[in-house]
Structure 1
Amino acid sequence: MTDRSRDDVLEIDEIDRRILEILANDPRSPYADIADELAEYDIDMSSEGVRRRVTSLLSNMTSFFLPRPERNSWEIVLVTARTRNEADAKREAFDAMSDMDFWFVAEGFGTVDLYGIATAESNPEIDDLLVDVRALEPVTEVDYFIETDRTVNIRNYLPVY
Structure 2
Amino acid sequence: MAATLRRLILLVSIFSSFLCRPILGWDEGDFEIFDAVEEVNQNFYEFLEVSPDASSKEIRKAYRKLTLKHHPDKNKEAEAEITFRKLVSVYEILKDEDKRKRYDKVLVEGLPDWRQPIFYYRRVRKMGLGELFILLAGIGTIGQFLTNWAVYFEKKLVVVSFIIILYESKRRKC
Report the TM-score when normalising by structure 1. 0.25
More strand by share: 1
Q: Which has the higher contact order (CA 8 A, sep 6+)?
A: 1
Question: In terms of Rg, which structure is larger?
Answer: 2
TM-score (norm 2): 0.24
